[in-house]
Chain A
Amino acid sequence: QITLTESGPALVKVTQTLTLTCTFSGFSLTTNEVGVVWIRQPPGKALEWLAIIYWNDDKRYSPSLKNRLIVTKDTSKNQVVLTVTNMDPVDTATYFCAKTNWGSWYFDLWGRGTLVTVSS
Protein backbone atom coordinates (compact mmCIF):
# COMPACT_ATOMS: atom_id res chain seq x y z
CA GLN A 1 0.00 0.00 0.00
CA ILE A 2 1.33 3.41 -0.99
CA THR A 3 0.98 6.31 1.41
CA LEU A 4 2.29 9.86 1.44
CA THR A 5 2.20 12.17 4.45
CA GLU A 6 3.07 15.85 4.51
CA SER A 7 4.52 17.44 7.63
CA GLY A 8 5.84 20.80 8.68
CA PRO A 9 4.98 23.90 10.65
CA ALA A 10 1.37 25.02 10.70
CA LEU A 11 2.37 28.63 11.15
CA VAL A 12 5.26 30.67 9.76
CA LYS A 13 5.97 34.37 9.78
CA VAL A 14 6.41 36.67 6.83
CA THR A 15 9.89 36.47 5.26
CA GLN A 16 10.65 33.17 7.01
CA THR A 17 11.61 30.02 5.14
CA LEU A 18 9.15 27.14 5.09
CA THR A 19 10.43 23.57 5.12
CA LEU A 20 7.96 20.79 4.40
CA THR A 21 8.60 17.08 4.39
CA CYS A 22 6.78 14.42 2.41
CA THR A 23 7.31 11.00 3.97
CA PHE A 24 6.19 8.12 1.82
CA SER A 25 5.95 4.35 1.91
CA GLY A 26 5.11 1.63 -0.56
CA PHE A 27 7.48 2.86 -3.24
CA SER A 28 11.05 4.07 -3.54
CA LEU A 29 12.62 7.10 -5.14
CA THR A 30 15.45 4.86 -6.23
CA THR A 31 13.11 3.10 -8.63
CA ASN A 32 13.40 4.18 -12.25
CA GLU A 33 10.84 6.68 -13.46
CA VAL A 34 9.33 7.44 -10.07
CA GLY A 35 8.82 11.03 -8.98
CA VAL A 36 7.25 13.09 -6.22
CA VAL A 37 5.47 16.36 -6.85
CA TRP A 38 4.41 19.23 -4.60
CA ILE A 39 1.13 21.03 -5.14
CA ARG A 40 -0.62 23.63 -3.02
CA GLN A 41 -4.11 25.01 -2.61
CA PRO A 42 -4.80 28.40 -1.01
CA PRO A 43 -8.06 28.46 0.97
CA GLY A 44 -10.99 28.53 -1.42
CA LYS A 45 -8.74 28.65 -4.46
CA ALA A 46 -7.42 26.35 -7.13
CA LEU A 47 -4.59 23.87 -7.01
CA GLU A 48 -1.15 25.11 -8.01
CA TRP A 49 1.71 22.88 -9.15
CA LEU A 50 4.98 23.79 -7.44
CA ALA A 51 7.81 21.37 -8.08
CA ILE A 52 8.73 17.82 -8.97
CA ILE A 53 11.72 15.62 -8.29
CA TYR A 54 12.49 12.32 -9.98
CA TRP A 55 14.44 9.20 -9.05
CA ASN A 56 17.42 10.47 -11.06
CA ASP A 57 17.39 13.83 -9.21
CA ASP A 58 15.94 15.65 -12.20
CA LYS A 59 13.91 18.60 -10.87
CA ARG A 60 11.36 20.97 -12.35
CA TYR A 61 9.87 24.09 -10.79
CA SER A 62 6.89 26.33 -11.36
CA PRO A 63 8.16 29.21 -13.51
CA SER A 64 6.48 31.78 -11.28
CA LEU A 65 8.01 30.43 -8.07
CA LYS A 66 11.26 28.84 -9.15
CA ASN A 67 13.41 31.51 -7.49
CA ARG A 68 11.90 30.64 -4.09
CA LEU A 69 11.65 26.84 -4.26
CA ILE A 70 14.09 24.06 -3.60
CA VAL A 71 13.14 20.38 -3.69
CA THR A 72 15.42 17.61 -2.47
CA LYS A 73 15.15 13.93 -1.68
CA ASP A 74 16.52 11.63 0.99
CA THR A 75 16.11 8.14 -0.37
CA SER A 76 17.36 6.51 2.82
CA LYS A 77 14.46 8.05 4.72
CA ASN A 78 11.88 7.86 1.92
CA GLN A 79 11.41 11.59 2.15
CA VAL A 80 11.15 14.57 -0.16
CA VAL A 81 11.69 18.04 1.24
CA LEU A 82 10.31 21.27 -0.17
CA THR A 83 11.81 24.57 0.90
CA VAL A 84 10.02 27.83 0.19
CA THR A 85 11.90 31.02 0.96
CA ASN A 86 10.63 34.48 1.79
CA MET A 87 7.13 33.40 2.81
CA ASP A 88 4.26 35.83 2.31
CA PRO A 89 0.59 35.71 3.40
CA VAL A 90 -0.34 34.75 -0.18
CA ASP A 91 1.58 31.53 0.39
CA THR A 92 -0.99 30.45 2.98
CA ALA A 93 -2.25 27.16 1.60
CA THR A 94 -2.65 23.45 2.06
CA TYR A 95 0.47 21.83 0.66
CA PHE A 96 0.16 18.38 -0.90
CA CYS A 97 2.73 15.90 -2.10
CA ALA A 98 1.89 13.19 -4.59
CA LYS A 99 3.53 10.35 -6.46
CA THR A 100 4.04 10.50 -10.18
CA ASN A 101 5.96 8.78 -12.95
CA TRP A 102 8.42 10.04 -15.51
CA GLY A 103 6.67 11.37 -18.57
CA SER A 104 3.17 10.68 -17.31
CA TRP A 105 2.22 14.16 -16.05
CA TYR A 106 -0.51 12.98 -13.74
CA PHE A 107 -0.34 12.33 -10.03
CA ASP A 108 -1.58 8.91 -9.10
CA LEU A 109 -1.51 8.99 -5.31
CA TRP A 110 -1.68 12.00 -3.01
CA GLY A 111 -1.24 12.81 0.63
CA ARG A 112 -3.98 14.55 2.56
CA GLY A 113 -2.03 17.79 2.72
CA THR A 114 -0.82 20.07 5.48
CA LEU A 115 -2.14 23.57 6.07
CA VAL A 116 0.45 26.31 6.39
CA THR A 117 -0.58 29.77 7.50
CA VAL A 118 1.69 32.76 7.03
CA SER A 119 1.25 35.48 9.59
CA SER A 120 2.41 39.04 9.40
Chain B
Amino acid sequence: DAEITQSPRHKITETGRQVTLACHQTWNHNNMFWYRQDLGHGLRLIHYSYGVHDTNKGEVSDGYSVSRSNTEDLPLTLESAASSQTSVYFCASSGTTSGGALYNEQFFGPGTRLTVL
Protein backbone atom coordinates (compact mmCIF):
# COMPACT_ATOMS: atom_id res chain seq x y z
CA ASP B 1 0.00 0.00 0.00
CA ALA B 2 1.09 3.55 -0.71
CA GLU B 3 2.08 5.55 2.32
CA ILE B 4 3.85 8.63 3.63
CA THR B 5 6.56 8.18 6.25
CA GLN B 6 8.50 10.58 8.42
CA SER B 7 11.78 10.13 10.24
CA PRO B 8 12.84 10.40 12.91
CA ARG B 9 9.61 10.17 14.93
CA HIS B 10 11.26 11.89 17.88
CA LYS B 11 14.28 14.19 17.95
CA ILE B 12 15.98 16.18 20.66
CA THR B 13 18.57 18.72 19.61
CA GLU B 14 20.36 21.78 20.92
CA THR B 15 19.93 25.41 20.03
CA GLY B 16 21.98 26.40 17.01
CA ARG B 17 22.33 22.95 15.49
CA GLN B 18 21.18 22.13 11.97
CA VAL B 19 18.41 19.55 11.86
CA THR B 20 16.85 17.76 8.91
CA LEU B 21 13.49 15.99 9.08
CA ALA B 22 12.76 13.45 6.38
CA CYS B 23 9.50 12.89 4.52
CA HIS B 24 9.02 10.11 1.97
CA GLN B 25 5.84 9.26 0.07
CA THR B 26 5.06 6.36 -2.24
CA TRP B 27 1.79 7.80 -3.59
CA ASN B 28 3.67 9.31 -6.56
CA HIS B 29 2.07 12.64 -5.63
CA ASN B 30 3.34 15.84 -7.19
CA ASN B 31 2.43 18.03 -4.22
CA MET B 32 4.07 17.87 -0.80
CA PHE B 33 3.64 20.04 2.28
CA TRP B 34 5.23 20.64 5.66
CA TYR B 35 3.20 21.86 8.65
CA ARG B 36 3.95 22.48 12.28
CA GLN B 37 1.37 21.85 14.98
CA ASP B 38 1.36 23.85 18.17
CA LEU B 39 -1.23 24.04 20.92
CA GLY B 40 -3.69 26.83 20.21
CA HIS B 41 -2.46 27.35 16.65
CA GLY B 42 -3.65 24.27 14.82
CA LEU B 43 -1.56 23.40 11.77
CA ARG B 44 0.47 26.10 10.10
CA LEU B 45 2.05 25.73 6.68
CA ILE B 46 5.85 26.00 6.56
CA HIS B 47 6.81 25.16 2.98
CA TYR B 48 5.28 23.33 0.06
CA SER B 49 6.22 21.96 -3.34
CA TYR B 50 4.19 21.35 -6.49
CA GLY B 51 6.83 19.23 -8.17
CA VAL B 52 10.51 18.46 -8.55
CA HIS B 53 12.67 21.56 -8.13
CA ASP B 54 9.63 23.64 -7.10
CA THR B 55 9.42 25.07 -3.56
CA ASN B 56 7.22 27.76 -2.01
CA LYS B 57 7.11 29.54 1.33
CA GLY B 58 4.18 29.11 3.62
CA GLU B 59 2.85 31.10 6.53
CA VAL B 60 5.74 30.35 8.94
CA SER B 61 8.78 29.72 6.73
CA ASP B 62 11.42 31.77 8.58
CA GLY B 63 14.24 29.54 9.84
CA TYR B 64 13.24 26.59 7.63
CA SER B 65 14.21 25.42 4.15
CA VAL B 66 13.24 22.63 1.78
CA SER B 67 14.50 21.23 -1.51
CA ARG B 68 12.80 18.81 -3.89
CA SER B 69 15.17 16.69 -5.96
CA ASN B 70 12.75 13.84 -6.69
CA THR B 71 9.02 13.11 -6.49
CA GLU B 72 9.15 10.96 -3.35
CA ASP B 73 11.03 13.15 -0.86
CA LEU B 74 10.76 16.61 0.67
CA PRO B 75 13.23 17.03 3.54
CA LEU B 76 12.74 19.94 5.92
CA THR B 77 15.88 21.63 7.28
CA LEU B 78 16.13 23.86 10.30
CA GLU B 79 19.27 25.85 9.55
CA SER B 80 19.97 26.86 13.16
CA ALA B 81 17.47 25.34 15.56
CA ALA B 82 15.76 27.65 18.06
CA SER B 83 13.64 26.82 21.10
CA SER B 84 10.66 28.40 19.33
CA GLN B 85 10.89 25.60 16.79
CA THR B 86 10.02 22.97 19.37
CA SER B 87 6.89 21.49 17.85
CA VAL B 88 5.31 18.53 16.12
CA TYR B 89 5.99 18.52 12.39
CA PHE B 90 3.72 16.90 9.83
CA CYS B 91 4.39 16.15 6.22
CA ALA B 92 1.52 15.71 3.74
CA SER B 93 1.08 15.00 0.05
CA SER B 94 -1.66 15.32 -2.55
CA GLY B 95 -2.15 14.41 -6.17
CA THR B 96 -2.94 16.43 -9.29
CA THR B 97 -5.74 15.94 -11.79
CA SER B 98 -5.10 15.16 -15.44
CA GLY B 99 -5.96 18.78 -16.15
CA GLY B 100 -3.25 19.98 -13.81
CA ALA B 101 -5.49 21.14 -10.98
CA LEU B 102 -4.52 20.46 -7.40
CA TYR B 103 -6.30 17.60 -5.66
CA ASN B 104 -6.99 19.17 -2.31
CA GLU B 105 -7.28 15.97 -0.29
CA GLN B 106 -4.01 15.66 1.55
CA PHE B 107 -2.56 12.50 3.08
CA PHE B 108 -0.58 12.99 6.26
CA GLY B 109 2.44 11.29 7.77
CA PRO B 110 2.58 10.26 11.45
CA GLY B 111 4.55 13.33 12.52
CA THR B 112 7.96 14.12 14.06
CA ARG B 113 8.13 15.50 17.57
CA LEU B 114 11.10 17.90 17.74
CA THR B 115 12.45 19.33 20.98
CA VAL B 116 15.07 22.08 20.87
CA LEU B 117 16.89 22.57 24.17
Q: Does B associate with A? A: no
